[in-house]
C-alpha cells in the first residue's frame, strides 16, 4: 500500500505496490465528481468518471427523464469493471484509482466488489455521499449541461439502499455541509483508511 505523507499524498516509492480503488458513490446531485477529483488530486490517484462509460442508450433514457433499470446498468458496470482492470494492469506507480459510480443498491456494490477483487485490487472502498432528497433535487435543478435531471432524483431514492453497518468497506459521508467541508472529511477518512492498510515494515 502506498504510504501517505503529511500532505495527504502518497510517497514516491517502489514502482509497483498493491493497488487500491475507491468508489465515490451516491445519488445524482450529491457531488460525486467534485469529491472524487479532489481525492484523486490529493492522493495521487487516477480519476475515472463513471458517467462517461454509460452506453448511449442509457444516456438517451436519462435525458428523457426515465430511470435506469438494473438491466440497463449491467453494461455500465461491465464497462467500469473493464476500465478498472485495465488500470491495474498498467504496472505504473500511480495506478491507484478513484471512480464515480452511483452504486445505489447493495447488489450494485457487490458486483463492483467482486470484479475489483478479481482484477487484483488489494483494497476496495465506497464513500457513499448522502443527503435528503429535497436538497439533491435543488442541486440538480441548479446545474447545467448534465444529462441527469432533477426528476431522476426521486426515482433513485425509490431504489436507494444506503450501506448498512455490515458493509465494512463503505463509509457514509453527509453532503449537507458546503463542498469544501465534504471534500476535507472524505479525504481525512481516505487517509486513515489507507494508513490502516499499509503493511508492517
7 pLDDT band (50/70/90 cuts)?
A: very low
Q: How many CB atoms sit inside 10 A of residue 90's CB? A: 13
For the chain, the domains span 20-196
Which one is predicted more confidently, 88 or 182? Answer: 182
Average pLDDT over residues 58-75: 89
CATH topology of domain 20-196: Rossmann fold (3.40.50)
As given in the structure block, the three cell numbers for residue 51 are: 458517467
pLDDT-derived band at 188, boundaries 50, 70, 90: very high
Handedness of CA 80, 157, 25, 180 (dihedral sign): positive
**Residue 25 bridge partners (DSSP):** 128
What does the pLDDT read at residue 13?
46
31: left (phi over 0), alpha (psi -120 to 50) or beta: left
Residue 120 neighbours by CB under 8 Å, 6+ apart: 19, 88
CA separation for the pair 61, 59 (Å, rounded): 5
Mean pLDDT in residue range 64-73: 89
Rounded CA separation 136/160 (Å): 13
Distant-in-sequence, close-in-space partners of 73: CB < 8 Å, separation ≥ 6: 58, 108
Q: Which helix (H) or strand (E) holds 90?
A: none
Averaged pLDDT, 111-126: 92
Lowest mean pLDDT among 125-129, 143-147, 159-163, 190-194: 143-147
- Tell me the per-residue pLDDT of 88-104, one tens digit each, with 9 for 90 and over: 777 555 568 999 999 99
Amino acid at each position: 500500500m502506498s504510504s501517505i505523507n503529511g500532505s495527504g499524498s502518497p510517497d514516491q516509492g517502489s514502482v509497483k505496490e498493491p493497488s487500491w480503488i475507491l468508489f465515490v458513490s451516491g445519488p445524482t446531485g450529491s457531488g460525486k465528481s467534485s469529491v472524487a477529483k479532489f481525492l484523486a488530486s490529493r492522493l495521487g490517484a487516477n480519476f475515472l468518471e463513471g458517467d462517461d462509460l454509460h452506453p448511449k442508450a442509457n444516456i438517451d433514457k436519462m435525458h428523457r427523464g426515465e430511470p435506469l433499470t438494473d438491466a440497463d446498468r449491467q453494461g455500465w458496470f461491465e464497462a467500469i469493471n473493464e476500465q478498472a482492470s485495465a488500470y491495474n494492469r498498467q504496472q505504473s506507480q500511480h495506478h491507484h484509482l478513484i471512480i464515480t459510480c452511483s452504486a445505489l443498491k447493495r447488489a450494485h456494490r457487490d458486483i463492483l466488489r467482486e470484479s475489483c477483487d478479481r482484477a487484483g485490487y488489494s483494497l476496495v472502498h465506497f464513500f457513499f455521499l448522502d443527503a435528503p432528497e429535497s436538497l439533491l433535487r435543488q442541486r440538480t435543478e441548479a446545474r447545467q449541461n448534465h444529462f441527469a435531471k432533477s426528476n431522476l432524483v426521486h426515482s433513485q431514492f425509490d431504489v436507494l439502499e444506503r450501506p448498512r453497518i455490515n458493509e465494512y468497506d463503505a463509509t457514509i459521508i453527509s453532503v449537507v455541509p458546503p463542498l469544501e467541508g465534504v471534500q476535507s472529511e472524505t479525504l481525512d477518512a481516505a487517509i486513515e483508511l489507507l494508513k490502516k492498510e499499509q503493511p508492517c515494515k
